[in-house]
Structure 1
Amino acid sequence: MPSRNLLFINGPNLNLLGTREPHIYGSTTLPDVEAAAKQQAASLSISLATFQSNHEGAIVDRIQAARDEGVDAIVINPGAFTHTSVAIRDALLGVGIPYVELHVSNVHAREEWRRHSYFTDKAVAMVCGMGGSRVHGGY
């Protein structure tokens, strides 16, 4: 049975989409991405909640709250926390909610240090390099 209650989390600096290094991240803003994702989810009768924070602890708190809310799956772009956050990884594993790791840019074609992720090995899937507007649904 497909998930019906999804949580879409965006980490640090993703609030700057549309203005931050548009040659890498594109010109689509986070509100545009979230609106398109919500529209796509609604067309599939899926509830989609969104959350963005530049603070690691706030993301951990949001992930932990997701279990009590009955979230079926999480889509997360951990941003720079991809390469540093054992705390967010542990929160995802601790709640037992399946998750998809998402990145706007192709992290594998960038700096060597961006190629390491604390999330990929436990993710249901990992999507990267599709930009902010090239994938149907906005992300």
Structure 2
Amino acid sequence: MNNNKLLIINGPGLSDLSNFNDYGYEHLTLEKLQNKCLETCKSLGMELDFFQTDDQASLTKKIVEGITECDALIINPVGYSHESTFDLDAYASNIKSDTLKNKPVIEVHITNIFHDNEGISEPVIVSKSGVGFICGLGVHSYELAIRSIHEKLNHN
């Protein structure tokens, strides 16, 4: 049996999750997040490549190169969603390219970024691309995204 491989990319701001304490996610760490993702993938028979970077060039490179080795992508752009230096066109082009290869892509956020005065992040929605979107469920945003991708991969 050929296991599906999932790539999870986390952008700036997730190397230190203590800033999420004010939003009700006390004691959340990148290691705990990664372990939950590994546990969920393992329970579904999926392989996982989990990646975090605070560097935009590394994020873009991982989107381009990493997806060739994976069947699906979950991305949390975090801080890049409100950075003035973020190259939205490059991001959108790379994400849209992945969806055109029939690879499921879901953007996740730990907090509900649509809540008034959140100020943590904004969606980096790639229009007309088929990208899914999940936010506001803490670590469960990732778990739901993983389960959704598993279902999509096994029904295509």
- Same-fold call, TM cutoff 0.5: yes
Separation (CA, whole Å) in 1 of partners of 2:117 and 2:81: 13
Opposite residue 5 of structure 2, the aligned amino acid is N
Separation (CA, whole Å) in 2 of partners of 1:95 and 1:138: 20
Which SS does the other structure have where 1:107 is aligned? coil
CA contact under 8 A between 1:37 and 1:138: conserved in structure 2? no
Which SS does the other structure have where 1:100 is aligned? strand
Which SS does the other structure have where 1:13 is aligned? coil
Separation (CA, whole Å) in 2 of partners of 1:106 and 1:29: 18
Task: Describe how 1:6-85 pairs up with structure 2 within 5 A.
Answer: 6-17=6-17, 19-24=18-23, 26-27=25-26, 28-69=28-69, 71-83=70-82, 84-85=86-87
Name the count of aligned residue pairs. 134
Normalised TM-score (structure 1):
0.80
In terms of mean alpha carbon deviation, does 3-12 or 29-38 score higher? 3-12
CA contact under 8 A between 1:24 and 1:105: conserved in structure 2? yes
> 1:136–1:89: structure 2 CA closer, same or farther, 3 Å change rule?
closer
Normalised TM-score (structure 2):
0.73
CA contact under 8 A between 2:108 and 2:133: conserved in structure 1? yes
Which SS does the other structure have where 1:39 is aligned? helix
Find the counterpart in structure 2 of residue 91 from structure 1. 94
Q: Which segments of 5 or more consecutive residues in structure 2 lack a partner in the other structure?
A: 146-156
Separation (CA, whole Å) in 1 of partners of 2:98 and 2:48: 18
CA contact under 8 A between 1:12 and 1:79: conserved in structure 2? yes
Displacement of 1:67 in angstroms is 3.5
Percent of aligned positions that are identical: 25
Opposite residue 76 of structure 1, the aligned amino acid is I
Separation (CA, whole Å) in 2 of partners of 1:60 and 1:127: 21
> 1:81–1:44: structure 2 CA closer, same or farther, 3 Å change rule?
same
Q: Does residue 108 of the first structure (1) align with residue 107 of the second (2)?
A: no
Listed one character per residue, the Cα deviations across residues 89-124 of structure 1 (whole Å, up to 9, x for unaligned) are 222223443310100111100448777533253353
Listed one character per residue, the Cα deviations across residues 66-89 of structure 1 (whole Å, up to 9, x for unaligned) are 2331x1110111002124441222
CA contact under 8 A between 1:33 and 1:138: conserved in structure 2? no
CA contact under 8 A between 1:25 and 1:105: conserved in structure 2? no
In terms of mean alpha carbon deviation, does 6-15 or 117-126 score higher? 117-126
Opposite residue 41 of structure 1, the aligned amino acid is C
Opposite residue 118 of structure 1, the aligned amino acid is V
